[in-house]
Structure 1
Amino acid sequence: SMPDASRVRAALAKCDFVVVSDVTRTDTTRCADVLLPAAGWGEKDGTVTNSERRISRQRPFLPPPGEARADWRIVCDVAARMGFGEAFAFRAPAEIFREHAALSAFENGGERLFDLGGFADLTDEDYSTFAPRLWPTSDRGEHQTRLFGDGRFPTPDGRARFVAVRQEATAFS
């Protein structure tokens, strides 16, 4: 699916070990040393955030086929096999969302706009009925004003900062 598939294959061939998680066989899965069967979008339970910053609950409408599993379950299982099971002992997407929300607020005294701390104590029931909403949110998880709607940015003078960067060479260069 990349514009120059031969360069991608060459870069993957240089890797000592390639792990791929996908829903179907692809050019990339042919390069995998380990293939982890992922659930498709209609088989997943969790949240998604779009480019508008709207967080929505995603509910499955099909069970995953065969050995396919949700991405979060794959990560937790791999972590457990690597000896980090205690840190990844999640039983459900709601637990992961609560941790994600709490971490977004960690040591954030209003310095970062991304702060979902108002959802850190969300009950399983509230998570189950979670209605789409934009972040940032208030401490109660209520939507606040539109981000940058006032023309101000989170900088000392309220102006946006643009930084010109030069792309560094990569394995694909």
Structure 2
Amino acid sequence: QPNAMGGREVGGLANQLAAHMGFETENVERVARFWGSKNMITEPGLKAVDLFDAIHDGEIKAVWIMGTNPVVSLPNADKAVEALQNCDFVVVSDCIGNTDTCHYADVKLPSQAWGERNGTVTNSERRISRQRPFLQAPGSAREDWQIIAEVARKMGYEDAFGYKQVVEIFQEHAALSGFENDNAHGVRDFDISYLQDIGPKEYDELQPVQWPVT
């Protein structure tokens, strides 16, 4: 899993907030202060199997599945199929339009594949590397961040999702890692705040770097 650590860095797990922070009260409040958010999740979400159990039981009415194929990958595939069949609204964004999961989508959004994406990945030794595209994305395929940002803007969150370039997201990510990360507030291991003012050219040329970077 070449970007398993990267997923943790941005809060991609059900039991983590962004910038590798957990759900301790001080971290929830810290993230809320950084983003000026009045509504913050305060406890961990559901892991994949539990999430699909909740969909199956009607506790979750809508789901957005990004770049994964749960009706194949989950241990109880038949139950996952039943869950999606019973779900009121299913969105799937993927670089392949005919996966087993796509069959149950109400909306399909074309995302970019490896080789078409622009961003960073972080390996298990905490080394951040640039991922540069070397293929032209086909048709209307977009990067995941572009899809998320456009949906958010349509929902009325223009101020929070006004990104024009991928470097802007990296800058914000780096800034959060260093926010209130000091002796007064408690020192956290994940800190790449040195890179929060990186410009487009420097980001494009970024060489692999191992965090913490301060």
TM-score (norm 2): 0.62
**Counterpart check, 1:30 vs 2:103:** yes
Q: Tell me the distance in 2 between the aligned counterparts of 1:49 and 1:69.
A: 21
Matches within 5 A, 1:1-173: 1-2=72-73, 3-24=75-96, 25-109=98-182, 110-137=186-213, 139=214
State the shift of 1:111 in Å: 2.3
Which is worse superposed, 20-29 or 10-19? 10-19
Q: Tell me the distance in 2 between the aligned counterparts of 1:107 and 1:71.
A: 29
Structure exhibiting the larger radius of gyration computed from Cα positions: 1
State the shift of 1:38 in Å: 0.5
State the shift of 1:73 in Å: 0.5
Higher helix share: 2
Which is worse superposed, 11-20 or 120-129? 11-20
Structure 2: gaps spanning 5 or more residues: 1-71
- The DSSP-based 3-state class of the residue aligned with 2:80 is helix
Q: Tell me the distance in 2 between the aligned counterparts of 1:50 and 1:21.
A: 24
Q: Tell me the distance in 2 between the aligned counterparts of 1:14 and 1:113.
A: 42
Judged with a 3 Å threshold, the aligned counterparts in structure 2 of structure 1 residues 112 and 29 are, in CA distance, closer, same or farther, namely same
State the shift of 1:15 in Å: 2.1
RMSD of the TM alignment (CA)? 1.2
- The DSSP-based 3-state class of the residue aligned with 2:156 is coil
Partner of 2:39: none
Q: Which AA in structure 1 matches 2:159?
A: E
% identical equivalent positions: 54
State the shift of 1:35 in Å: 0.7
Q: Tell me the distance in 2 between the aligned counterparts of 1:51 and 1:16.
A: 37
The number of aligned residues is: 138
Q: Tell me the distance in 2 between the aligned counterparts of 1:136 and 1:9.
A: 42
State the shift of 1:4 in Å: 2.9
Structure 1: gaps spanning 5 or more residues: 140-173
Q: Which AA in structure 1 matches 2:156?
A: G
Q: Tell me the distance in 1 between the aligned counterparts of 2:86 and 2:126.
A: 37
